[in-house]
Structure 1
Amino acid sequence: MMQTGQPSRTALSSARARAVHQVADSPRVFADPLAARIIDGVDNDPRPADAPGMPAEVRLFMALRHRVAEDALRAAVHTRQVVILGAGLDTFAYRNGNRALRVFEVDHPATQAWKRRRLAETGIEIPDTVVFCPVDFAEQTAEAGLAAAGFDRHAPAFFLLLGVAPYLTRDALLDTARFVAHLPAPADLVFDYNQPPATLPPQRRPALAAQAEAMAKMGEPWRSFFTPAELAGELTDAGFDSVTDVGWQECLTRYELDPSLRDLFGGRIAHARTTGRETR
């Protein structure tokens, strides 16, 4: 649950996972040298001291979703704008070496104010390519917030929604997808999602149930689930021209990881593309 002026617990958990991945996992699949700095001294883990830590496989999936997303972003050579929806403690904007990219961070005003103070405290430089876009979703849409922040609808854009989609309702996620798909210029959307528990092999369901229960107890329950086929259909109906979707085994193969590593809860990563309404 997000406290006033603080990031959500899931934002802290995600940043913590990225920080631990840098030193605990071998091989490291995602480099984020700023993750440890941004949470140092403020990472108040709500779990009891004797509680088991995050499973290594869950931590690895969190790293993989960023690696898949940022690999896709680097391959999108015509992109001139990156939009990080629900930016939380994401550090891409401060690691980005491509000065041709404008990076819009969209998040709740209180969370964003806290993050900006945190960046100043840790000496993490804010490049002039970063555009902060505070949006209170109870009062404003991301589309309106981006317009006010100077987002160019007619320039190619890449949208990242990492560690956020499971906490959105189906309608909220698909509304976001339709907004991206109907932009005049080419656009990409990458996000991770969870599959319905009943569709997973029986041995995976307990881990998924335990993770869902933990999130609910923290006041941040999972609200949406999709099968890959169902999601592909929804994204196509939303207006995207192509949809690719990768899961645990595909990631292990792509990044030459140990194929025996367990897929604990069946998380997947979707990448939807549109050529833009102006080019059709």
Structure 2
Amino acid sequence: MEDASPSKTALGVARLRALHQISPEAALFRDPYAIAILGESTPAEQQLAQEDTRSRRMRLFVAARARFAEDWLAAAVRRGVRQLVVLGAGLDTFSLRNPYPGLAVFEVDHPATQAWKRKSIADAGLAEPPATTFVPVNFERQRLPEELASAGLKSTEPSFFMWLGVVPYLTKDAIFTTLSYISGTLGSEVVFDYSEPSENRDAAGQAALAFHAARVAAVGEPWISFFIPGELAKSLRDLGFDEIEDLESGDIAARLSGTPKGETTNAGGHLIRARRSATAAP
């Protein structure tokens, strides 16, 4: 992504969330602000009729990962977590829909993308949510722990991290540096999505990966990191996470009511939740 330009893939994801709201599967994930925040970039309803299988599965995956992340957040809030960090927020609208009194939200993103998001909120005639702190971070020049601390995040208290649609674009060094930081506080939890490498997929999965990877590379934001599930789980345990749940596309489809039988959401795509419980051994 260029320094002065907002993320093109963030816009693409926002358009999928908006399109989902007018789809037959809209009940899977309701987002009343998804359309409003896009303004003139809102997709036309006829795009639903033009969806092919790959596009539909990607839309369902985007909706499903948001649904599961927010369900897991709800469970964390019930346990007493009062800090949410949205990493690479893009045009995510949770902060506008936040139903939890006392939950502080910290949105972290590249300065250009975050400025675009805040302008989009204003252009839609919406007010910035008072419980949300916007934290612009250029990861090439700034460090996440210091920037979050300066913004008011309490590092001694557990936080829930939503990190959706970001990990494939980062180096593994950057990914594990962030995960190490998250695991440093007992009770903290992270939800992120990832993709398996081509050699770990069947022919259909390889074709889907080639198709989507080519699209994001064409806008200058290529996928560069892939993971094998068992190896990733071991790395997370080595970092101190002791509660790990990994959902692959078939698991996601099976758990979602309203998803047609046999429908998958994104072959080779995974959503993973990792928590370092308050009782974890040092």
TM-score, normalised by the number of residues in structure 1 = 0.91
Letter in 1 for 2:137: V
Please tell me whether residue 124 in structure 1 is matched to residue 123 in structure 2: no
* CA displacement at 1:249 relative to structure 2: 1.5
Q: Which of 137, 144, 147 is 2:146 aligned to?
A: 144
Moved more, 100-109 or 252-261: 252-261
Aligned partners of 1:215 and 1:221 also within 8 Å: yes
Count, aligned residues? 273
Report the equivalent of 2:239.
238
* CA displacement at 1:156 relative to structure 2: 1.9
Aligned partners of 2:16 and 2:59 also within 8 Å: yes
1:15-57, CA deviations, whole angstroms, 9 ceiling, x for partnerless residues? 1000000101325311111111111214699xxxxx9777111
Q: Which structure 2 residues correspond to residues 215-234 of structure 1 after superposition, within 5 A?
A: 215-234=216-235
In 1, the alpha carbon distance for the partners of 2:279 and 2:153 equals 17
Moved more, 18-27 or 209-218: 18-27
1:148-200, CA deviations, whole angstroms, 9 ceiling, x for partnerless residues? 101001222100100001101111111110000012x4100000000011111
Report the equivalent of 2:70.
70
Report the equivalent of 1:192.
193
Report the equivalent of 1:209.
210
Aligned partners of 1:181 and 1:276 also within 8 Å: no
In 2, the alpha carbon distance for the partners of 1:42 and 1:3 equals 22
Letter in 2 for 1:211: H
Q: Which structure 2 residues correspond to residues 1-280 of structure 1 after superposition, within 5 A?
A: 1-2=1-2, 4=4, 6-26=5-25, 28-42=27-41, 55-76=55-76, 77=78, 78-183=80-185, 185-256=186-257, 257-276=259-278
Secondary structure at the aligned position of 2:27 is classed as: coil
Distance 1:25 1:187, change over 3 A: same
Q: Unaligned stretches of 5+ in structure 2? A: 45-49
In 1, the alpha carbon distance for the partners of 2:191 and 2:11 equals 21
In 2, the alpha carbon distance for the partners of 1:148 and 1:21 equals 36
Aligned partners of 2:109 and 2:137 also within 8 Å: yes
In 1, the alpha carbon distance for the partners of 2:144 and 2:6 equals 18
Q: Unaligned stretches of 5+ in structure 1? A: 46-50
Distance 1:41 1:123, change over 3 A: same
In 1, the alpha carbon distance for the partners of 2:75 and 2:264 equals 29
1:206-259, CA deviations, whole angstroms, 9 ceiling, x for partnerless residues? 111111111111100001101111110111111211211001111122113223
Moved more, 118-127 or 64-73: 118-127
Aligned partners of 1:21 and 1:28 also within 8 Å: no
Letter in 1 for 2:20: H
In 1, the alpha carbon distance for the partners of 2:244 and 2:160 equals 14
Moved more, 193-202 or 122-131: 122-131
Aligned partners of 1:193 and 1:267 also within 8 Å: yes
Aligned partners of 1:80 and 1:101 also within 8 Å: yes
Letter in 2 for 1:137: F
Report the equivalent of 1:48.
none
In 1, the alpha carbon distance for the partners of 2:281 and 2:230 equals 27
Aligned partners of 2:65 and 2:164 also within 8 Å: yes
In 1, the alpha carbon distance for the partners of 2:95 and 2:271 equals 21
Letter in 1 for 2:225: S
Letter in 2 for 1:181: S
Distance 1:263 1:118, change over 3 A: closer
RMSD: 2.1
Distance 1:23 1:151, change over 3 A: same
Aligned partners of 2:249 and 2:267 also within 8 Å: no
In 1, the alpha carbon distance for the partners of 2:99 and 2:90 equals 20
